Amino acid sequence: MSGTAASTKVWRRIGVHAREALLRSLNSVELRTILADVARTRASDETYADLIKRWREDRLLMPSLLDPREAIPVTARLWEAVPREFVGVTLSQLTSLGSGIHLGGLGQNRVVTTMRGTEVLADPAHGLALEASRRRRNGHSRVHLATHARCTHAWDQAEESAHELRFSLVSSCPDGGGLSTEADLLDLHLDYWREIIGSLVPQGRIELTVWDHTLAGLIESRGTRDDVIVVAGKDDDRRPWRNPYTTAAFRFVVQGEEPVELGDGGFVTWTQALTRNRKDRCLVSGISVDAVVPHTWGAADQ
């Protein structure tokens, strides 16, 4: 394991044996027991002054500027339009340790890790993909899940909010051959997002990038690209999307002097790895309710 310069100094003080025990030798139960003692001792030593100081200074604890009364009608509209194929899921605020790394491509310093061997949800799509994989392994042929959840980002940028309310869709299905499954899933998700963007953010638009040329021709013949801005994509031209996408991806943008990205979606290989089935196809998509609200201008009430 490679650490930072700061952590290297700390490890030197602790010693090689303690380091090896904490990193590898202790099993998960033993490690959790030790960390619980650490948390218990440090929590007991905290004072009321420490509590309010942390509340003032730690950006992870700062409330969102979003008024819940403005988010409720937007969230309700998102649920009203969900296709009947989708099952609603209420996710835990926690997910499996390593979800950010293995699914979202995030460094562990970009997520909030708990002392119980879990991490705080950084993207609802990660939790839905895990749940979809569990259902697929239990015999469900086609799985479509939807959720809204508040997620937390341990970003370094102080000007960005540390948490946001996101609405996400995840579909996991077996490959039907000839890219027909990919085309079907794109139709399902994009039809939904066209309706949502049109009703909630009239000034918004959907930008679609397709890296697979065969799929590009197929969705053009099916009309999937109607009312969508197609952005030319090269195999070696992968934008810094929220998640590592393959085959095709799309994003929701509000145009202005500085374009605002509301959310995105695309094909991922997560469920292939989680179900150990290379024939599985998975499309995820989501939007930030926090980002949408300032651009609705009452559209949610129409």
- CATH C-level class of 68-301: alpha beta
Three-point CA angle 122, 126, 130, nearest 5°: 140
Average pLDDT over residues 277-286: 96
Instruction: Say whether pLDDT at 300 is over 60.
Output: no
Q: For all residues of the chain together, what is the average pLDDT? A: 90
pLDDT at residue 233 in the model? 62
Compute how many other C-beta atoms are within 10 angstroms of the C-beta atom of residue 266.
25
Compute how many other C-beta atoms are within 10 angstroms of the C-beta atom of residue 53.
12
Residue-wise pLDDT for 101-137, tens only, equals 999 988 888 899 998 889 999 999 999 999 999 999 9
Beta bridge partners of 120: 94
